[in-house]
Amino acid sequence: MGKKRAGRKVRVDFRPNRQQPRRRDDWTRQYRAEADRLEDEKLVESVRAKGELSRKRTILVDQHELPAVDESMWLHGTVTRVHGLICTVNDSQGRSWECTVRRVLRTLLIETRSPVIVGDRVWFSDQSKVSGGKLVGVIERVDPRTSCLSRRDARKRRHAIVANADQLLAVVSVAQPRLRPHLVDRYIVAALKGQLRPVLCFNKMDLLEEGSLAENEEQDRGELTVREAIDEFRRLGYQCICTSVVTGVGLPELRDALQDHLTVLSGQSGVGKSSLINALQPGLKLPTREVSADTEKGRHTTSRAELLRLDFGGYVVDTPGIRAFDLWAVAPGELEAFFVEFIPYVQKCRFGDCSHRYEEGCAVIAAVQAGQISPRRYRSYVKMFSEV
């Protein structure tokens, strides 16, 4: 990525992280818009405030707000909650600050339709001295985002929900409720679509060992056993963590996977998400879900996302609104790119727009027949294709 014009630096920063640049989709477009916005912001910033002198001028303009502090005194933190005009910001020492956004910045962010959201990394000035020692501050600057997940409201407008998330932890249970590998495939697609690294957690392993295996095997007659299904995901290259809150197995590995990441948590209710989080960090509670959010339709997804801070480093975000994330808005044509094992075959199909379902000369179908692609994964693809 050597030769780039200076003004394009922001793009260079995030490109190497993009794992699925194959198709330009809405999400990518939004992502680019975001990058453009950041570039614009940089421009505006350099126009309005180049160097210390003009920064002082900015502060002068802003004299009605709380007094600003020298930039070198700014603290760095992560926004964990947004409530109206107040953001809760966690600093590097784990302290929690209640911050407003400096008006100049707020105006700029409103103009670019991009308010501060959870996950944003921000610089803020300490205003505790003028607030009787309470940990309050003013957000002065927002760092460029490395990712941005959004949801769409009923009028199809996008709302950014979480910034800087880097992985998606899909929690499923191997029994009660029984494992549905197709659902795992969906989480993988959702994660890749959102440019998040998928991490798969198979919980309630104790039930598998106790003999509930029989139940699973019976229902899966002629299909893969739970262990075979997990092995299949492993062979595809996805991190698979087998856990049990009851025996404690896999918990250290899960902890390692979460440490220092901003992880989006997903999984149906009852699979053990709350139990897992609580086992990793006693006292840490997932926000209780609203009933309406469980309808999968996202009837009322007004509930706000909130980051939970992990003592051992990193954040987890779990929000009912996640179901309405644009993660699921995958176009049929881009689905193939999210099935990693299809990729070597896709170019070999006779037709450029092959959907790999019935076309003649389809290299993907041939690979399934030759045993190079798992029939289960292939069926999963076909099922998803008919849905998107």
Q: How far is residue 305's CA from residue 323's CA, in Å, rounded to a whole number?
A: 12
**Residue located via tokens 């990712």:** 147
Interaction partner, residue 274 (Zn ion, ligand GDP, none; CB < 5-8 Å by kind): ligand GDP
Long-range contacts (CB closer than 8 Å, 24 or more residues apart) made by 35-44: 35/10, 35/11, 35/144, 37/112, 37/114, 38/10, 38/144, 38/145, 39/7, 39/8, 39/10, 39/11, 40/112, 41/108, 41/112, 42/10, 43/7, 44/108
Question: Applying CB under 6 A, does 270 fall inside the site for ligand GDP?
Answer: yes
Candidates 142, 149, 174, 362; binder of Zn ion (CB under 5 A) is 362
Least distance in Å: CB of 362 to Zn ion?
Answer: 3
Q: How far is residue 218's CA from residue 372's CA, in Å, rounded to a whole number?
A: 26
Q: Identify which of residues 46 and 269 has a Cβ nearer to ligand GDP in the complex.
A: 269
Least distance in Å: CB of 335 to Zn ion?
Answer: 12
Q: Please list every residue from 160 through 219 that binds ligand GDP, using CB under 6 A.
A: 203-204, 206-207
Candidates 28, 212, 275, 292; binder of ligand GDP (CB under 6 A) is 275
Least distance in Å: CB of 39 to ligand GDP?
Answer: 40
Question: Applying CB under 6 A, does 245 fall inside the site for ligand GDP?
Answer: yes
Candidates 201, 245, 330, 364; binder of Zn ion (CB under 5 A) is 364
* CB-based burial, 166-179: b 16+ in 10 Å, e otherwise: bbbbbbbbbbeebb
Least distance in Å: CB of 187 to Zn ion?
Answer: 24
Q: At what angle do helices 181-193 and 375-387 cross, to 10 degrees?
A: 60
Candidates 356, 373, 374, 378; binder of Zn ion (CB under 5 A) is 356
Q: Identify which of residues 136 and 276 has a Cβ nearer to ligand GDP in the complex.
A: 276
Spell out, one character per residue from 322 to 351, where the chain touches Zn ion: x when CB under 5 A holds, - when not: ---------------------------x--
CA angle, residues 90, 92, 93, in degrees to nearest 5: 90
Question: Applying CB under 5 A, does 354 fall inside the site for Zn ion?
Answer: yes
Helix (H) or strand (E) holding 181: helix 181-193
Beta bridge partners of 97: 89
Least distance in Å: CB of 368 to Zn ion?
Answer: 10
Answer for the pair 126, 73: CB distance below 8 angstroms, yes or no.
yes
Question: Applying CB under 6 A, does 272 fall inside the site for ligand GDP?
Answer: yes
State the pairing for strand pair 262-266/315-317.
parallel
Number of shown-chain residues binding ligand GDP (CB under 6 A): 15
Least distance in Å: CB of 323 to Zn ion?
Answer: 31
